[in-house]
Amino acid sequence: MAIDRRTLVGLAIGAIALSGCATRAPELASSPPPPVATPLAPMPQPPAGTRDGMAVPARLADGSYATPNHGLDQTVAVWHLRVALNVAALGCRGSDGITITSGYNAMLNRAKAELAAASTAATRAEGGQAGYDEAMTRLYNYFAQPGAQAAFCAAAAKVTADLATAPTLSIAAAPALDALDQPFVDLYRSYDAYRTQLAAWQADRLRRASQPIDMRPRTVMAASAPAPMGAAPHLTVDPTIFRQP
């Protein structure tokens, strides 16, 4: 079927007009995502050998702790030293235990008079036998704390070896007792650090729980603007369509 010239011209002009109105297809536009929250860190755990709620001696102005061995006079310090080494001789194992037991027994035989005087002084300092018994029970339990035993046994082995050459227990007691006390001071510092970390962790968890939930939609439909005229496809019209066959 023949198509007359006017029809062909109309089709060509319509095609050119449509090309100028071409637009891009609608596209998806996403809203900015909310900030990615870092995961909550694992809950801090107490140091090995300790437990939540463990009693810690008061912290003193110089950063030390008011342990049962703090601020003793020279004679009472001798008796506390004897108690510490007794606990170590009973509880420490391996090569440290052998060194401690041997040195402890030698000390008992070598310093009988000093130890007898120290026992009397310690009883007097606690207000009599009843107070002494209660204080010594606390002291034995102090030196038996499981969280410090490895370091305590190592310190006790060194102390007993050093005591073999000490002129008297009265001279050696204070520095020796400080060395035996240090593992427990370190344990308390570690536990205090754990409590600080736990408080920070709990505060972070509470902060996260109190944040509002972001209910914004994540994706919306947005129509694109018409394409610039220069971006429209160019259509070339074959001039032969205007000629009659």
Q: What is the pLDDT of residues 176-204, one digit of tens each?
A: 999 999 999 999 999 999 999 999 999 99
Given a cut of 50, whether residue 245 has pLDDT beyond it is: no
pTM for the model: 0.71
Q: Which amino acid is at 144?
A: A
Question: Phi/psi at 222 (nearest 5 deg)?
Answer: -135, 125
* Structural element, H or E, at residue 128: none
Q: Which residues contact 151 (CB under 8 A, 6 or more apart)?
A: 182, 183, 186
Query: Which tens digit of pLDDT belongs to each residue from 92-121?
Result: 999 999 999 999 999 999 999 999 999 999
- With bands split at pLDDT 50, 70 and 90, how would you rate the model's confidence at 4? low
Tell me the residue type at 103: G
Q: Among candidates 241, 44, 83, 46, which has minimal Cα distance to 173?
A: 83
The proportion of the chain whose per-residue pLDDT surpasses 90, expressed as a percent, equals 65
CA-based nearest residue to 8, from 183, 236, 241, 245: 241
List, in sequence order, every residue forming a beta bridge with 220; answer none if it has no partner. Answer: 29
pLDDT band at 242 (very low <50, low <70, confident <90, very high): very low
What is d(CA 120, CA 128) in angstroms, rounded to the nearest whole number? 10
Tell me the one-letter amino acid at 192. Answer: D
pLDDT in tens, 42-92: 999 999 999 888 999 999 998 899 999 999 999 999 999 999 999 999 999
Task: Give the pLDDT of residue 209.
Answer: 86
Is the pLDDT at 139 greater than 60? The verdict is yes
